[in-house]
Structure 1
């Protein structure tokens, strides 16, 4: 591990405490035990951060740990009240054996190692399209002291309110003071949420789904390494930071909804679990609303099964109520699904049905390297569930499969968009849902397989047991190709940071350092965001006209994007209207070629009669001052 990573260990520990600490007292008071305790602490912590981002501007507080502590204190007080009402109630246990903690710890260390190697250096920014927005959004929160999702107006200058899920950016903003900059804070938080939340989430939902197979919760975090599209795929596509923090929480929603519906719970405990489930839903929605809708879709079979149980056990009045409530919920879900549709038709079906089904079978979706163990383990898990007749679990996994097939294959675009438009018709985002039930099923399959191997050995069939174990190890090794592929892509593309980076180069970042000494607090800089010039804002806090590629920046900004290099009187009028003082030119390389938004007027600026070069690094990174318009 390089020195720059070692120097960020305190920031990483603070990030981990932030993910668990605020919610731990409430989780203890709710009598959660085992891995469910850690899961509850994460849920309440993320909910406190999300609710704090909403509360802070309403009470005049800048974004900091203070509103998080206030919300966490309120939630803890509610949990204390529920504890006092039922002081003698038993704890809610799940995944509390030593094997579970070994599995979680091993998985956490594994993800830390993979991400450190993939990102290469804590100072390396993501080089993908959406990274421009997400890095700058953190700086926007820091500059304005406001992390509310209703105030993320960075790409809408002049707007007073809009909605954009900001849980990710709020999290990163909280640890920036401990890392000194937005980029390292983003990388540290990326490692923390994956290493802490994902193993715990998988172990928790598996322990809740399969309580009779206690070892499955220990296997779940480990089989997660075999699912290539998530979480590493979200760092190599997009980059999808909000979807990442949202999708990480889906298993937690499922777990706490199922726990809240357990038979025989005292009302106080049921209320506590229900409130925890609601908190998980709220935090997930503030991570990314599509993740919440995905969780709700996966919960439909469980809700239908519980409704059927209630209807069978009750009289005619109960059945009528169940039907009315069920119909109302179905209408509400379909209505929200329709209005939450954000179809862009930017991603079209690109697979045959046979290929898509093959990817489902091996749990290796969207054309990624295929491992040969996790899919067969999931089939063993499915067969085990079939024998126990817990059909709703299979129905939930079937919904994830249906959504994936619609995204990657369905040729009827209008129908496809109606089904998966919530995820921008993007197969990569939808594919992550396959792991929510698929990985717990694979963990169940691993448990059944391991028990079979042990039984064979105990019965004296050692050769058979060893042969199957060796085959399993060899099949597990096939998943290394997917991990290596992701890490290689991270190092060579997504987080590459040198003169050949597809977005921001190391020379351009060096120019940012020079620019910080030459720009005043009121300076306004324009540059083609597709070249990485937009990241001047994240690196220095100096305002830029285009913090992202898309947005509503006004007629003057659009005119300069097309025509600034002409240096005409009309150009000067728009410069004066906006108050532009400097221009960045980072050459011709762009991180997203052939984009529909044109910024051709922000190139070839050398020799412009209205600009004077004030700093440069290398052959293509230059900072100009506007000198010929006044």
Structure 2
């Protein structure tokens, strides 16, 4: 196990480089310093790389590390030009502030890294989940085609398929990591997702805390430590799905929210400044949108609460001075603008498609409220100590007008989660539909405000403790805050990360539930063996539900059906899904197979979600048995590879004798 992780070290190092140092020259060129330059680096890297991938494909240029580095150079030069227009740099931070912020992030990386090693067991662990099939296949498609644009990735390079938008920022970065050092697709995916969870996310949380609380060393150190202590994020999205694009986008939301604080003048000892924030915020939003659009909605919701609370306070002041009309207009603008923005997003074709998804409730309303209060969403064990410090932070924020928005935003996230987890009615889906009405995705919003509230609660406890035992002179409040956080981390055995690792492991564990795996170790071995029996330019017909979809990302041999969502297939793919097994007597099936390059048929046994009705949508790619036109290449138990040996008989058939839709198979 140790040797495997040592061999995977270059992949993880490459993931760190592409996500953080790549953005540093851009962030520095635009004038950021200290915590801000490190936290903004991933956001700027993601935005630069994802936009560059779109431009490269439009220019018919393959996506590669050289192209990506060229984009970084151009972005850095542009940032230098912009820096000359936005005024002086913010004042440099004290060395103590930088050291404590770095220490908090390193602690998060260490604890989170241990959790990931325990969860994955091996760096190339395969995610046995529905969403992983698409993501693995998308990485294989980028590797083979060099096309990585978010505007076309959803088509997965299928001939004849219309371009389809799918946010590709995570895939763009992962493809660069794999192209830089090589390695298996699952190993690259794990490396990028892991670095996002234990490096990018803690950096973002520290930046938000810096904007909320100011340059307080102990506070920033505690923020990094707490950032990996909430189950809902990042660990929830690593387990459910897996939702890697959402993971990347959500990890950038605290950075964007910190920039909103700068724009609105609510940041404490602002580390960015309003002019730079006005430039950086839209750039960050582009990166978030190309990571996953619903993360932009997360920001709109949280920022709207911030603006509304601030506006309400100003409106109260206007009203007290008799400026009633001005107060009314102020509040109305704070409400109407985000409502119009969200309504516009909902009206787009993508917005309507996402909003139409329905998930069954998982708990009662009372249960969902309890899960929020105890940070135990989706049946996780209660995190009592963390919940306690968050509640202390809530109480303190309600008494401080400058921090009241934190609790309000946390309450809005909690309300959305309760709706999705326990109600799921048409009226609640109007609000939760931006997240597929998926309570897992909405739960990931809670730590964005939960982390600073927990930090605030710890500071309050430290202040009370110092007053009680008269440590106000001998021990700084920052040191007391850090000491309390360390005690909490020890009492929870490293912020419950061992327990969290077991939860994440359930999505990467073929040995735990062999009867429900997408790809078993035996299947993976069979795929490796037949790789050399298939020409590199051939396409293999398959039922993706039997695990064969992963032949492409695992062994580099392209399959006809590379995702489990049959709604996104072309009409020609649909026809072969119904009729390929009759190719020897079906001229149209032969014609389509030749057009798409289909030369093989791979069949296996369905273990993944075997009762799902979509499993039966591929009757034309079953074992041909005694039907002519196929030659057995290799068989192992229920797994078999056939070559499409002959379509000559079909040339003598009159295609008009076929049914109107040409189908011979049955569903």
TM-score, with normalisation over the residues of structure 2? 0.84
Q: What are structure 2's unaligned runs of at least 5 residues?
A: 473-479, 649-667
1:62 counterpart SS class: coil
Aligned: 1:453 with 2:468 = no
In structure 2, what is the equivalent of residue 10 of structure 1?
10
Deviations 1:53-108, CA, capped at 9 Å, x for gaps: 12212333211234433433333234323444577543375993433222110110
CA distance in 1, matches of 2:76, 2:50: 16
In structure 2, what is the equivalent of residue 594 of structure 1?
612
Shift of 1:335: 2.6
Deviations 1:238-273, CA, capped at 9 Å, x for gaps: 11111111111111110112123337999x952222
- Superposed, 1:207-356 pairs within 5 Å as 207-211=210-214, 214-262=217-265, 269-307=273-311, 326=334, 327-339=336-348, 340-341=351-352, 342-356=354-368
Shift of 1:476: 2.6
1:427 alignment partner, one of 428, 439, 443:
439
Aligned: 1:548 with 2:563 = yes
Shift of 1:578: 2.2
1:612 counterpart SS class: strand
Deviations 1:297-348, CA, capped at 9 Å, x for gaps: 1110222245557776899998798578543443223332354241344412
Aligned: 1:626 with 2:639 = no
Aligned CA RMSD, in angstroms, stands at 3.3
Deviations 1:359-390, CA, capped at 9 Å, x for gaps: 11112212222221111111111111122123
Aligned: 1:21 with 2:21 = yes
CA distance in 1, matches of 2:605, 2:86: 67
CA distance in 2, matches of 1:324, 1:452: 40
CA distance in 1, matches of 2:465, 2:113: 31
- Superposed, 1:81-100 pairs within 5 Å as 81-85=81-85, 88-91=88-91, 96-100=97-101
Shift of 1:39: 0.7
**1:318–1:67 Cα change, 3 Å:** farther
In structure 2, what is the equivalent of residue 393 of structure 1?
406
**1:253–1:485 Cα change, 3 Å:** same
CA distance in 2, matches of 1:415, 1:2: 52
**1:45–1:345 Cα change, 3 Å:** closer
Quick check: 1:235–1:494 contact (8 Å CA) kept in 2? no
Shift of 1:513: 2.4
Aligned: 1:123 with 2:134 = no
CA distance in 2, matches of 1:171, 1:193: 11
1:441 alignment partner, one of 433, 436, 453:
453
CA distance in 2, matches of 1:23, 1:276: 13
In structure 2, what is the equivalent of residue 63 of structure 1?
63
- Superposed, 1:76-225 pairs within 5 Å as 76-85=76-85, 88-91=88-91, 96-152=97-153, 153-154=155-156, 157-177=159-179, 178-211=181-214, 214-225=217-228
CA distance in 2, matches of 1:69, 1:448: 46
2:602 alignment partner, one of 565, 584, 601:
584
**1:355–1:553 Cα change, 3 Å:** closer
**1:275–1:538 Cα change, 3 Å:** same
Shift of 1:422: 1.2
CA distance in 2, matches of 1:11, 1:544: 26
Compare 209-218 and 402-411 and name the one that shifted more: 209-218
**1:309–1:592 Cα change, 3 Å:** farther
Quick check: 2:161–2:569 contact (8 Å CA) kept in 1? no
Quick check: 2:103–2:221 contact (8 Å CA) kept in 1? yes
Shift of 1:591: 4.6
Quick check: 1:156–1:552 contact (8 Å CA) kept in 2? no
In structure 2, what is the equivalent of residue 34 of structure 1?
34
Compare 604-613 and 59-68 and name the one that shifted more: 604-613
CA distance in 2, matches of 1:188, 1:351: 33
**1:262–1:573 Cα change, 3 Å:** same
Q: What are structure 1's unaligned runs of at least 5 residues?
A: none
In structure 2, what is the equivalent of residue 613 of structure 1?
632
CA distance in 1, matches of 2:57, 2:157: 20
Shift of 1:470: 11
Shift of 1:29: 3.3
CA distance in 2, matches of 1:470, 1:241: 30
In structure 1, what is the equivalent of residue 475 of structure 2?
none
Aligned: 1:379 with 2:401 = no
Quick check: 2:582–2:620 contact (8 Å CA) kept in 1? yes
Deviations 1:106-129, CA, capped at 9 Å, x for gaps: 110111121122112122221111
Compare 257-266 and 119-128 and name the one that shifted more: 257-266
CA distance in 1, matches of 2:326, 2:23: 37
Shift of 1:497: 6.8
**1:555–1:50 Cα change, 3 Å:** closer
Shift of 1:421: 1.0
CA distance in 2, matches of 1:515, 1:437: 50
Shift of 1:186: 1.0
CA distance in 1, matches of 2:201, 2:231: 13
CA distance in 2, matches of 1:459, 1:204: 29
Quick check: 1:259–1:273 contact (8 Å CA) kept in 2? yes
Equivalenced residues, count: 620
